[in-house]
Amino acid sequence: MTYKLVCFDMDGVLFEGNNFWLRLHKALGTYEEGKELTEKYLKTDYAKLVKEVVGRLWKGKNADPYFDLVASTEYIFGVKDTFSELKKRGIKTVIISSGPKHLVERARDELGVDYVFSNNLMVSNGIITGEFDWPIGFGSKAKFLKEVCDKENVLLSEVVSVGDNDNDVEKAKLVGFSIAFNSGSDELRSVCDVEIKKKDLREILPYLS
């Protein structure tokens, strides 16, 4: 099979740290409550989670810690080599992440990613406004992948998906080949074709030739 497109999750696959928003809770001093709310609502009521976290806990806070975190988050080992190799092979790339727009755009610009989809924590005059644009809730990544496939004239069977958690299960089931990368999710590992345990993204390349 010749694969034409690779669909990446962001946190834990391209960047260190498996949940940007929980790290932001730490940076903004809202971790305890943030963790509790995330455990309670992430999979059951994303709108409520957004309202409680962004609309209440973070609204009005200085956004500097957010931008600092975006700038300082480190790539997983091998990411840059992997993207330049995919480009060489003519394979298109997409990131679909429930993480922040600014970090996804940093990856897009630094790695030359073809398509990116993410959520957006709104900031105005350096202040977190309390609004959150969230096209990617829990379990809504697949429709964006299908959109890209249509645009690129690629079949889902020609797509490889690389993810690390429960939110990547849906698209892992849809694509031609799925990889669980450094995953702590039993559910994801059980639906994926292979599991990569070594924390080096270049490990995906042998499956793409």
Binding site for Mg ion (CB under 5 A): 9, 11-12, 164-165
Least distance to Mg ion, CB of residue 89, Å = 24
CB of 96 to Mg ion, least distance (A): 10
Q: Strand runs (DSSP E) across 101-176, as ranges? A: 115-124, 127-133, 159-163
Q: How many helices (H) and strands (E) does the chain have?
A: 9, 7
Tell me how far, at minimum, the Cβ of 13 lies from Mg ion, in Å.
Answer: 6
- Between residues 73 and 165, which has the closer beta carbon with respect to Mg ion? 165
Give min distance, CB of 15 to Mg ion, in A. 9
Least distance CB 179 / Mg ion (angstroms): 13
CB nearer Mg ion, residue 56 or residue 198: 198
Q: What CA–CA distances, in Å, run from 145 to 95, 172, 189, 190? A: 9, 11, 20, 21
* Contact between residue 52 and residue 68 where contact means Cβ atoms under 8 Å apart: no
Q: What is the token pair recorded at 50?
A: 């957004």
Q: Phi, psi at residue 78, to the nearest 5°?
A: 90, 0
**130 vs 161, beta carbon nearer Mg ion:** 161
- Residue with Cβ nearer Mg ion (9 or 52): 9
User: C-beta of 71: minimal distance to Mg ion in Å?
Assistant: 20
Give whichever of 34 and 182 is closer to Mg ion, judged by the CB atom.
182
Q: Are 13 and 163 in contact (CB under 8 A)?
A: yes
Q: Which CB atom, from 11 or from 203, has the smaller least distance to Mg ion?
A: 11
Could you tell me which of 85, 105, 111 has the C-alpha nearest to residue 3? 85
Instruction: Report the alpha-carbon distance of residue 3 to residue 63 in Å, rounded.
Output: 40
Question: Do residues 166 and 187 lie in contact, with contact meaning Cβ atoms separated by under 8 Å?
Answer: yes
